[in-house]
């Protein structure tokens, strides 16, 4: 709150670091927010999609006659009706509607637009499909076995360089990543200790509380408006133009508030393109909303990963090398999520100082669910393996695991083998803060000493740390964001940003940053952030980039507005610009904070003068990062975020039930901008990590999801959450907005790894496969688990 004292001195607090409630929270807490599910356009039809009854099969025939004849049905589409369908996805390896072959349980065969959801569903039941089964590849290892059935077999007659959907592939390899720095062979020879283990990471899915949905509408001129849940509106617009053979200038994307994202809304999905096809055919708005079961079956998962890690160190605790081979199950088609190795290799190469590192990933096609992008983007999987090995190496040389980590931890000024430059690095502070606040060293020794004590319930404590991009990630040609700022005659601001709000609180933090520059209260701002016809370009919500990139962009626009105002004020008051400032809604003298004039009044004066002027500015921020070279090297983010999390568990050795009792986290966030929002991101991420470690498991058998519901797919509920203690390390990043870094993904990353270390501390038994369900833990504790081993594999 700003106060104008009798002496005309303005007193106002900085907004930075305060607990500022989300601007959209009052609407949301009143049930007034209109999510896509709550929007209806006049004349709107409702769509449903017929998905495959088989996992891998040739489609022999589709008969839609009865469906088309059902009263209330407007359009029924199959691939046969759409000879101009174009392949979609990162690898352009599938068509929205499948006409020849279905390759997964999700696969879309037909779509109906009808006057109600009930009629559309009834019509689906009338569609007859004849299939001829093909052999199912239900495991990534089976996909690379000699003679494995091919998911996208080579096709004759396609022009060279055509998309996978036209050419097929000679094998099931969708993507391959090979990275190296140093000489791991020599480094291994020089190591005192070498260990090798395999790790297996399972399927989990986003479980956004709001199911997927889209509304498509063409106007009379053929201009398409899409009401979409996407996290990447401008990339979406470009992709839709390609998939629909349309001019991108004729596509507008409006983003209603989103019921959860977490990475699930990065790709263009078949259902979205199909909905547009239906709207085009019907010449009516068409709305398509999933059921929860469909959300489980047809929205993406986190990458399941099989991983073999070989690590070494010297007796004095110096890390020597790391060799990593991973096998990723893409499912039948390639999503953005297949590029998770970009993140994974950063963790392997650069979380600690590792002089020699080899990293290899093969992402394969199978008939399993479509694995996509999910908060943390491969980093949960990589960290799970690395941080267990850090404990194991420390044990092997008889060193305390905290001391071992501190010895190898990165510091400010480091340039890693992968070319990442750590300008501000609070890693060691994270390690010591989390360890101190959790009493890690003392408890770990005490719990280890009690492993053999009587009593079924054992306690354990474990630690893990993470490195993640915190200043964007230069993957796309630009990693930037645009801002337009308008100040009106009443001193109110409209902040128009390319950055989307997906519940993470970006609109509030951006408003805060702008108000801090212009000396205004948050209540002065309206944020516009959800319409590609209005907002300037942004690459999208991913890579924990919005606070950093959109924040810098917003500050840039605010600084320009401020400069314009102060220059005009300096003319009016005949003083130097540098002696003036904006504070508490006034133009003030910088030295004394003496109010000269109310800001709104001054702006009205500018407007209604001979040289009428409006205060409107634009800014585009491009971070000073670089694209990786062909060897995946380069400083891809403007800064990097760090965290250490310590997990305490109780393990009931009689039942295998693991309870998470405490999580102590220390996060290098650069600087705290909105403490309330930041805590919310961390706490939510921790509990998502808890679910990944202990309860969530999308069960896939022979390509079929067995538990597409919240009964059998167990999310963490309120009584199960641990006590959470979160500390923030303020490393004040030189490039960050007010010194801040991105943190959205960070809190989910370490939890599973730290839990594995805690279970080992409690029981002496190490677990290499997630999730730690009671059955799995019980079997491991009672010697009923075979040691997992995956022999690294390379394509020929």
Residues binding another protein (CB under 8 A) = 19, 21-22, 24-35, 37-38, 206-211, 257-262, 291-292, 502-505, 676-677, 679-680, 683-688, 709-711, 715-719, 721, 724
CB of 678 to another protein, least distance (A): 9
Going by DSSP bridges, is the β-strand pair 580-583/356-365 parallel, antiparallel, or unpaired?
Answer: unpaired
Residue closer to another protein by CB (options 190, 720) is 720
Shortest Cβ 289–another protein spacing (Å): 8
What does the alpha-carbon distance between residue 635 and residue 621 come to, in Å, rounded to a whole number?
A: 17
Task: Identify which of residues 207 and 273 has a Cβ nearer to another protein in the complex.
Answer: 207
CB of 113 to another protein, least distance (A): 18
- Least distance in angstroms from the C-beta of 206 to another protein: 8
User: What sections of 574-718 are H helices per DSSP?
Assistant: 599-607, 675-690
User: Which stretch of DSSP H or E encloses residue 311?
Assistant: strand 305-313
Residue (171 or 696) nearer to another protein, CB:
696
Q: For 340, how many CA atoms within 13 A lie in the half-sphere containing its CB? A: 31
Residue 690 Cβ vs another protein, minimum distance, rounded to whole Å: 8
- Residue with tokens 């990590």, as numbered in its chain: 689
CB of 23 to another protein, least distance (A): 10
Residue with Cβ nearer another protein (233 or 257): 257
Number of H helices, E strands in the chain: 21, 30
Tokens of 30: 């009143």
Nearer to another protein, 77 or 748 (CB): 748
Beta-bridged to residue 666, according to DSSP, are: 644, 727
Residue 208 or 463: the one with the smaller Cβ distance to another protein is 208
198 within 8 A of 308, measured Cβ to Cβ: yes
The DSSP code sequence of 724-746 is EEEEEE----SSSGGG----SSH
CA–CA distance, 510 with 647 (Å, rounded to integer): 33
What is the closest distance, in whole angstroms, from the C-beta atom of residue 778 to another protein in the complex?
25
Considering beta carbons, is residue 563 or 676 the nearer one to another protein?
A: 676
Q: Checking phi first, is residue 46 left (phi over 0); if not, alpha (psi -120 to 50) or beta?
A: beta
Q: 492 CB contacts (<8 Å, ≥6 apart)?
A: 524, 525, 526
Comparing CB distances to another protein, the nearer of 28 and 782 is: 28
The tokens for 43 are: 């004349």
**Hey, what are 605's tokens?**
């004066």
Closer of 264 and 350 to another protein (Cβ)? 264
* CA distance linking residue 216 with residue 218, whole number of Å: 7
* In the complex, minimum distance from the CB of residue 531 to another protein, in angstroms, rounded to a whole number: 19
Buried b (16+ CB within 10 A) or exposed e, 361-392: bbbbbbbbbbbbbbbbbbbbbbbbbbbbbbbb
CA atoms within 13 A on the CB side of 387: 33
Give backbone dihedrals phi and psi of 198, rounded to 5 degrees, phi first: -105, 150
Closest to 97 (Cα-Cα) out of 136, 132, 64:
64
Max distance between CA atoms of the chain, in angstroms, equals 88
Cβ at position 40, least distance to another protein in Å: 9
744: closest CA among 684, 687, 689? 684
- Burial tier of 451 (Cβ tally within 10 Å: 0-12, 13-18, 19+): middle
Residue found by looking up tokens 């001193």 in the block:
491
Q: Is the peptide bond before 771 cis (omega within 30 degrees of 0)?
A: yes
Q: Shortest approach of another protein to residue 21 CB, angstroms?
A: 5
Q: Do residues 333 and 407 make contact, with C-beta atoms less than 8 angstroms apart? A: no
CB of 117 to another protein, least distance (A): 9
CB of 503 to another protein, least distance (A): 3
Minimal distance, residue 39 CB to another protein, in Å: 9
Beta bridge partners of 751: none
Q: Residue 423 has which token pair?
A: 């300008």
Beta carbon nearer to another protein, 245 or 717: 717
Nearest distance, CB of residue 2 and another protein, angstroms: 20
Q: Which of 320, 500 has the CB closer to another protein?
A: 500
Closest CB 25 distance from another protein, rounded Å: 4
- Taking each helix axis as running N to C, give the angle between helix 401-408 and helix 427-438, from 0 to 180 degrees, rounded to the nearest 10: 170
- Of residues 355 and 684, the one with the C-beta less far from another protein: 684
In this structure, the number of other CB atoms found within 10 A of the CB of residue 788 comes to: 14
Give 260 or 417: the residue with its C-beta nearer to another protein: 260
Q: Which is nearer to another protein, 202 or 206 (CB)?
A: 206
Orientation angle between helical segments 751-763 and 379-396, nearest 10 degrees: 30
Shortest Å distance, C-beta 528 to another protein: 19
Do the Cβ atoms of 487 and 517 come closer than 8 Å? Answer: no
Residue closer to another protein, measured from CB, 34 or 794: 34
Helices (H), 574-705: 599-607, 675-690
Tabulate helix, strand, coil % of the chain (nearest 5).
30, 25, 45
- State how far the Cα of 394 lies from the Cα of 706, in Å rounded to an integer: 40
- Nearer residue to another protein within complex by CB, 392 or 715: 715
């Amino acid at each position: 709150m700003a106060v104008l004292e009798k002496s005309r001195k303005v007193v106002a607090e900085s907004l930075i670091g305060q607990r500022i409630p989300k601007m959209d929270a009052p609407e949301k807490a009143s049930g007034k927010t209109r999510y896509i599910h709550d929007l209806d356009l006049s004349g709107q039809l409702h769509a449903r999609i017929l998905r495959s009854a088989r996992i891998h099969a040739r489609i022999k025939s589709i008969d839609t006659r009865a469906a088309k004849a059902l009263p209330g049905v407007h359009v029924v589409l199959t691939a046969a009706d759409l000879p101009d369908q174009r392949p979609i996805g990162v690898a352009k390896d599938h068509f929205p509607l499948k006409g020849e072959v279905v390759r997964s349980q999700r696969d879309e065969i037909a779509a109906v637009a009808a006057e109600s959801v009930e009629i559309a569903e009834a019509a689906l039941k009338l569609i007859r499909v004849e299939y001829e089964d093909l052999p199912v590849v239900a495991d990534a290892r089976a996909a690379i076995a000699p003679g494995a059935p091919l998911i996208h077999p080579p096709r004759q007659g396609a022009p060279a360089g055509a998309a996978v959907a036209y050419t097929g592939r000679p094998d099931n390899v969708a993507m391959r990543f090979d990275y190296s720095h140093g000489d791991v062979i020599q480094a291994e020879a020089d190591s005192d200790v070498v260990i090798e283990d395999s790790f297996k990471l399972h399927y989990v899915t986003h479980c956004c509380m709001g199911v997927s949905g889209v509304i498509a509408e063409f106007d009379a001129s053929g201009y398409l408006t899409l009401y979409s849940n996407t996290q990447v509106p401008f990339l979406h617009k470009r992709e839709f133009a390609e998939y629909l053979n349309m001019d991108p200038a004729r596509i507008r994307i409006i983003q209603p508030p989103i019921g959860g994202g977490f990475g699930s809304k990065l790709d263009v999905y078949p259902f979205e393109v199909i909905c547009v096809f239906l709207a085009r055919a019907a010449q009516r708005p068409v709305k398509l909303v999933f059921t929860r079961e469909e959300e489980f079956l047809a929205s993406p998962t986190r990458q399941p990963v099989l991983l073999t890690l070989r690590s070494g160190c010297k007796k004095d605790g110096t890390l020597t090398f790391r060799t990593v081979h991973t096998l990723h199950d893409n499912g039948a088609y390639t999503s953005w999520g297949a590029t998770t190795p970009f993140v994974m290799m950063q963790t392997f190469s650069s979380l600690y100082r590792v002089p020699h590192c080899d990293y290899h990933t093969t992402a394969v096609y199978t008939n399993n669910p479509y694995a996509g992008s999910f908060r943390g983007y491969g980093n949960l999987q990589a960290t799970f393996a690395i941080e267990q090995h850090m404990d194991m190496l420390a044990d092997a040389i008889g060193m305390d695991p905290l001391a071992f980590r501190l010895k190898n931890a990165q510091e400010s000024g480091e340039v890693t083998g992968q070319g990442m430059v750590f300008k501000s690095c609070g890693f060691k502070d994270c390690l010591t803060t989390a360890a101190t606040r959790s009493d890690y060293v003392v408890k770990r020794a005490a719990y280890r000493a009690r492993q053999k004590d009587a009593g079924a319930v054992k306690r354990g404590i474990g630690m893990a740390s993470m490195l993640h991009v915190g200043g964007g990630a230069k993957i796309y040609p630009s990693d930037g964001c645009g801002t337009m700022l308008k100040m009106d005659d009443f001193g109110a601001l409209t902040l128009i940003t390319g950055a989307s709000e997906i519940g993470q609180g970006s609109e509030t933090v951006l408003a805060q940053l702008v108000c801090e520059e212009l000396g205004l209260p948050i209540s002065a701002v309206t944020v516009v952030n959800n319409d590609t016809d209005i907002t300037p370009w942004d690459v999208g919500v991913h890579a924990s980039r919005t606070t950093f990139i959109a924040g810098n962009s917003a500050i840039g626009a605010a600084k320009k507005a401020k400069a314009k105002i102060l220059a005009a004020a300096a003319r009016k008051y005949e003083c130097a610009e540098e002696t003036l400032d904006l504070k508490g809604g006034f133009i003030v003298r910088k030295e004394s904070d003496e109010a000269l004039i109310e800001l709104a009044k001054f702006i009205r004066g500018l407007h209604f003068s001979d040289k009428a002027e409006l205060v409107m500015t634009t800014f585009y921020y491009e971070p000073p990062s670089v694209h990786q070279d062909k060897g995946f090297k380069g400083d891809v983010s403007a800064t990097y975020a760090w965290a250490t999390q310590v997990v305490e568990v109780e393990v009931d050795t009689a039942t295998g039930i693991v309870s998470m009792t405490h999580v102590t986290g220390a996060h290098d966030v650069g600087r705290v901008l909105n403490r309330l929002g930041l805590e919310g991101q961390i706490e939510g991420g921790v509990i998502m990590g808890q679910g990944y470690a202990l309860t969530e498991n999308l069960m896939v058998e022979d390509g079929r999801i067995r538990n597409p519901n919240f009964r059998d797919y167990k999310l963490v509920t309120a009584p199960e959450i641990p006590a959470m203690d979160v500390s923030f390390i303020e490393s004040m990043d030189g490039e960050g907005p007010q010194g801040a870094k991105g943190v959205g993904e960070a809190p989910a990353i370490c939890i599973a790894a730290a839990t594995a270390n805690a279970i080992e501390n409690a029981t002496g038994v190490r677990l290499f496969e997630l999730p730690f369900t009671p059955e799995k833990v019980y079997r491991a504790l009672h010697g009923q688990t075979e040691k997992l081993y995956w022999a690294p594999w390379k394509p020929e």
